[in-house]
Amino acid sequence: MAKFVIAGRADCPYYAKTELLADYLQKNLPDFRIHKITQRPEVWEDWLKDVCEKNKWSHKNSPIIWRELLDRGGKGLLLGGYNEFLEHAQLYYDVTSSMTTELMMVIAQENLGAHIQKEQEEEGLKTCINPLQVWITSASAPACYNLIPILTSGEVFGMHTEISITLFDNKQAEEYLKSLVMETQDLASPVLRSVSICTKVEEAFCQAHIIVVLDDSTDKEVFTLEDCLRSRVPLCRLYGYLIEKNAHESVRVIVGGKTFVNLKTVLLMRYAPRIAHNIIAVALGVEGEAKAILARKLKTTPSYIKDVIIWGNISGNNYVDLRKTRVYRYESAIWGPLHYSRPLLNLIFDSEWIKREFVATLKNLTATGRQFGGILAAHSIATTLKYWYHGSPPGEIVSLGILSEGQFGIPKGIVFSMPVKFENGTWVVLTDLKDTEISEQIMTRMTSDLIQEKLVALGDKIHFQPYQSEHKDLVPHEEKNPVMSDAAYFLNQIPQTTFEKPQSLEFLNGFEGKTVES
């Protein structure tokens, strides 16, 4: 039995005539089999050249037909083109074709349309089969260790979405990453296609669909605040360049960490402008800490507390807004169904506790950096990703760090945490919320540090001057909620110990390959 392979340009009229004649022969002859190959016009010549070089044939036109002996195997035998196939059919089978030129042209165009449609269907299938490419930077950080089990549980992207995780860090972390890969494989997760490591900077973020940016490596060394801010720029510039160059066009970037989260996010947007709309900062860690403090006060469960809004600098000078916060399933004289809730500020009668202890506890957590510890950071990132892909709970307010477009009177061009909801694969800023106005003094306090951080980091301002309020801040429900800024966090560390210098430049040098400047 012989099989004839007929290959041609999708819009070639001679291929169309050859194809119909071959279809007739296959239908009427029991030992005659055909296999068809079409290529787009723009790639046909290159494809034909490769086939001929591989088989040591000489052929330059469309179509090309060769014969494969199924019972013997071995190299295919070149028959030739359109004319040679017609002669073969007439000589061996006494069959020829009487197709008109006009009909040949019509069928050729139909073939081209069918070929394009087939390619589109195959691409659609690939998106279903190919795993979601998840890259985690600074993968030796504790947050990564806690994030991996959540991502591989199927809870974030769903049990029907396979993922491939790539752990990205410098060369010095390679041995640790290898052990982390083995531990991840031991999970035997049904949604984990593969897990690998990358220490070569030029290969970073290759076809990434999701990039999780964690805190970069640090080393103990005294450092000025201004130099600390400027040290964020080289790494963000490098990441931005690599994301633009290597990542998938629809990549989503999510930024977490202990300090300067807003600044890192806005710098990534600056250096990766093509996907700036898909870069966000995680604010759920601060939100979770606030809920936990309130739950301990009310002797309830943190998950029963909803709609705590975080405004401003996620890892610094922010305002925890309790005016919309509600408590569900609270045990008291008033009880209702599961969907029944009560305003939190109506349940805490000790206003002095809110004014003093609540604010002081949050301030202390910010000062120590505990609010972005490994477990909480991982859970916050995973929850934000889950909402991004599947939507946030209906009616629930979520805090998210995004680029301001002037909403709520926030200056444009800074990354600012504000209330949103997730739906249809994106987020919507909840600008229609009532009674969420923020006083000019509070807004100035929050935006001043963020604007200065950006200016100092980019070299447009020499010295950072922390905002000093003329009046003492009061309480959250009166729009007065002082929380330590990134600058204050930095300065707070110096009397106690040397500051942890971000190793941006040494971090880059730790990779194999050259640092890329844009």
Summarize pLDDT for 456-491 with one digit per residue, the tens: 999 888 888 877 655 434 344 444 444 444 544 444
Check the CA dihedral 304-308-314-319 and report its sign.
Answer: negative
Contact 275, 244 (CB under 8 A): yes
Q: Residue 220's pLDDT is what?
A: 45
What pTM was computed for the model? 0.69
Tokens for 441?
Answer: 């003094």
Contact 391, 424 (CB under 8 A): yes
Report the number of secondary-structure helices (H) and strands (E) in the chain.
Answer: 16, 20
Per cent of the chain over pLDDT 70 is 84
Q: What's the CA gap between 59 and 71, in Å, rounded?
A: 26
Say which range, 263-267, 398-402, 431-435, 505-509, has the weakest mean pLDDT.
505-509
Residue 114, pLDDT > 60, answer: yes
Q: What's the CA gap between 413 and 512, in Å, rounded?
A: 34
Q: Residue 355's pLDDT is what?
A: 81
Tokens for 259?
Answer: 């300090």
For domain 283-469+483-492, give the fold: L-2-Hydroxyisocaproate Dehydrogenase; Chain A, domain 2 (3.90.110)
Q: Residue 2's pLDDT is what?
A: 67
Contact 295, 322 (CB under 8 A): no
Q: Which residue has the higher pLDDT, 224 or 256?
A: 256
Residue 5, pLDDT > 50, answer: yes
Q: How confident is the model at residue 406 (pLDDT cuts 50, 70, 90)?
A: very high
Q: Residue 77's pLDDT is what?
A: 87
Contact 321, 476 (CB under 8 A): yes
Q: What's the CA gap between 146 and 169, in Å, rounded?
A: 16
Radius of gyration of the chain (CA): 31
Say which range, 55-69, 237-251, 391-405, 479-493, has the weakest mean pLDDT.
479-493
Residue 28, pLDDT > 60, answer: yes
Residue 305, pLDDT > 60, answer: yes
Tell me the pLDDT tens digit for each residue of 218-229: 554 546 888 888
Q: Residue 31's pLDDT is what?
A: 82
Q: Residue 500's pLDDT is what?
A: 37
Residue type, 162: E
CATH code of the region 3-125: 3.40.30
Q: Residue 467's pLDDT is what?
A: 72
Judged by DSSP in three states, 217 sits in: coil
Q: What is the mean pLDDT of residues 419-439?
A: 92
Q: How confident is the model at residue 217 (pLDDT cuts 50, 70, 90)?
A: low
Residues 6+ apart with CB under 8 A from 69: 2, 77
Q: How confident is the model at residue 125 (pLDDT cuts 50, 70, 90)?
A: low
Q: Residue 317's pLDDT is what?
A: 84
Question: For all residues of the chain together, what is the average pLDDT?
Answer: 85
End-to-end CA distance of the chain: 61
Q: Residue 298's pLDDT is what?
A: 92
Q: How confident is the model at residue 126 (pLDDT cuts 50, 70, 90)?
A: low
Q: What is the mean pLDDT of residues 268-289?
A: 95
Q: Which residue has the higher pLDDT, 518 or 143?
A: 143
Residue 349, pLDDT > 70, answer: yes
Q: Residue 334's pLDDT is what?
A: 75
Tokens for 70?
Answer: 């199924």
Q: How confident is the model at residue 368 (pLDDT cuts 50, 70, 90)?
A: low
Q: Is 413 left (phi over 0), alpha (psi -120 to 50) or beta?
A: left
Sheet of strand 305-306: strand arrangement: 305-306, 326-328, 341-343
Q: Residue 302's pLDDT is what?
A: 95
Q: Residue 252's pLDDT is what?
A: 97
Tell me, what DSSP letter sits at residue 200? B
Q: Which residue has the higher pLDDT, 95 or 512?
A: 95
Q: What is the mean pLDDT of residues 364-383?
A: 78
Tell me, what DSSP letter sits at residue 429? E
Q: Which residue has the higher pLDDT, 465 or 373?
A: 465
Q: What is the mean pLDDT of residues 448-462?
A: 90
Q: Which residue has the higher pLDDT, 219 or 11?
A: 11
Among 48-52, 266-270, 328-332, the range of highest mean pLDDT: 266-270
Among 118-127, 397-406, 493-502, the range of highest mean pLDDT: 397-406
Classify residue 516 as exposed, middle or buried by CB count within 10 Å of its CB (0-12, 13-18, 19+): middle
Residue 255, pLDDT > 80, answer: yes
Per cent of the chain over pLDDT 90 is 58
Sheet of strand 64-69: strand arrangement: 32-39, 2-9, 64-69, 77-80
CATH code of the region 130-276: 3.40.50.720
Residue 168, pLDDT > 90, answer: yes
Q: Which residue has the higher pLDDT, 485 or 183?
A: 183
Q: What is the mean pLDDT of residues 417-428?
A: 94
Q: Residue 515's pLDDT is what?
A: 35
Check the CA dihedral 302-307-312-317 and report its sign.
Answer: negative
The residue ranges of every structural domain in the chain are: 3-125, 130-276, 283-469+483-492
